[in-house]
Amino acid sequence: MNRYYLPAGEWKESTLTLAGDEAKHCTRVMRAREGDEIEIFDGAGTSAVCRIDAISRDLVQCHMLRQSTQPPAKHPVTLCQAIPKGGNMELIVQKAVELGVSAIQPLITAHTVARPESAEKKQAKWQRIALEACKQCGQNHLPEINTPVGFPRWLSGRKSSGTSLVAALDPQAVHLKTQLETTPVHGNITLLVGPEGDFSPEEYQAAYDAGFQPISFGPIIMRVETATLYGLSILQHELSAPAHVE
Dump the DSSP string for 22-79: HHHIIIIIS---TT-EEEEE-SBSEEEEEEEEEE-SSEEEEEEEEEEEPPPPSS-EEE
Residue ending a domain, choose from 69, 103, 122: 69
Same domain, 24 and 81: no
Return the pLDDT at 113: 84
Is residue 56 domain-shared with residue 105, that is, in the same domain? no
- Quote the domain boundaries for residue 128: 77-244
Identify the helix (H) or strand (E) that includes residue 80: strand 77-82
Same domain, 115 and 223: yes
- Regarding whether 117 and 37 lie in a shared domain, the answer is no
Domain CATH number, residue 192: 3.40.1280.10
> Are residue 90 and residue 209 in the same domain, yes or no?
yes
One domain for residues 53 and 89 = no
pTM of the model: 0.92
Q: Side chain identity at 49, as an amino acid letter?
A: V
pLDDT, position 246: 40
Which positions of the chain have pLDDT values less than 70?
A: 116-117, 241-246
Do 81 and 65 lie in a common domain? no
Domain limit, last residue, from 23, 53, 69: 69
Residue 53 belongs to a domain with what CATH number? 2.40.240.20
* 37 and 95 fall within a common domain: no
Domain count within the chain: 2
- Say if residue 124 is in the same domain as residue 238: yes
Domain boundary among the residues 53, 69, 85 is at: 69
Residues 151 and 199 in one domain: yes
CA distance 133 to 27: 20
> What pLDDT, on the 0 to 100 scale, is given for residue 241?
52
